[in-house]
Structure 1
Amino acid sequence: MTTTQGSGAASAQLERVRALCLALPRATERPSHGGPAFFADPRCFVMFLDDHHGDGRLALWCAAPEGVQAEQVALEPDRFFRPPYVGHRGWLGVLPATLDDDELAAVVLDAYRCTASARARRELDARPG
């Protein structure tokens, strides 16, 4: 199990995640389950948790496409896990410090696409580049 990284590292990881999430159409941030969470029209797609109920992890809980959780946890259990409460719905637990910027961006985008409204997804797809 990865241990909590301390407030400086947690702040840096939160800023990485926040920048990615809030760059998406209609994305907002508000507290949920003891940490910052990111929503898209009004469903949650990423939760940021630091030592949630003493688990010692600085982690994200992310919506994920069907089958991704099982695959990632089986292939890379040092980076991904089945989170409590939402794991039974296929959400993916992620240790963000173990992902580079491109990997983290891909996880966030997948989570967003799983939960965002059709209108928000169209706005995303209409963006240049």
Structure 2
Amino acid sequence: MTHERITSKEGLEMEAAVRELAIRWPEVTEKVDGFGHTSFRVSDKPFVIMGEGGAEGPALSFKVLKTTQELLLAQEHFYKTPYIGHHGWVSIRAQNVADYSLLADYLLEGYLCAAPKRLAKQMQAQLPSLMES
């Protein structure tokens, strides 16, 4: 990812779609870092990072379990996030996402990875009702 704030139409649409999914979970905050990346965090730990990607277009990165990362990397369009991929981060270009709701489960997995244990337990108890919304 390059160091630019999201300004493209495609990037702003990505940001809005991801915001709609992520902001509904407890204690999620949105932050723009010094590099211009928009992130969604829980307890100040990021689980989603987005940024403009220059000629390649905007990209979405999210944290998942290592087993999920392996499954996603075997699919077309997903790639290991530079610098943090070894920690379970996966990326995809906005142009390759047909429907952001299809990524909702992965974003929730990232949230659960980053959330404090008390929040993760609370969320897991509510999972059946959350998956319906």
TM-score in terms of structure 2 length: 0.78
SS of the residue corresponding to residue 123 of structure 1 reads: helix
Where does structure 1 lack aligned partners over 5 or more consecutive residues? 1-5
Indicate conservation of the 8 Å contact 1:96/1:104, yes or no. Answer: no
Flag structure 2 segments of 5+ consecutive residues without an equivalent.
Answer: 1-6
RMSD: 2.0
Aligned pair in 2 of structure 1 residues 67, 126: CA closer, same or farther (>3 Å)? Answer: closer
Identity %, equivalent residues = 28
| Alpha-carbon distance in structure 1 between the residues aligned to 2:55 and 2:10 | 17
* Alignment partner, residue 67 of structure 2: 67
Counterparts of 1:1-129 in structure 2, within 5 Å, are 7-32=8-33, 33-51=35-53, 54=54, 56-76=56-76, 78=77, 80-97=78-95, 98-127=97-126, 129=129
User: How many residue pairs were aligned?
Assistant: 120
Structure 2 CA distance for aligned equivalents of residues 88 and 29 of structure 1: 24
The alpha carbon displacement at 1:30 in A equals 0.8
Point out 4+ residue stretches in structure 1 off by more than 3 angstroms: 125-128
CA–CA distance in structure 2, aligned partners of residues 64 and 41 of structure 1: 17
Give the TM-score normalised by structure 1.
Answer: 0.80
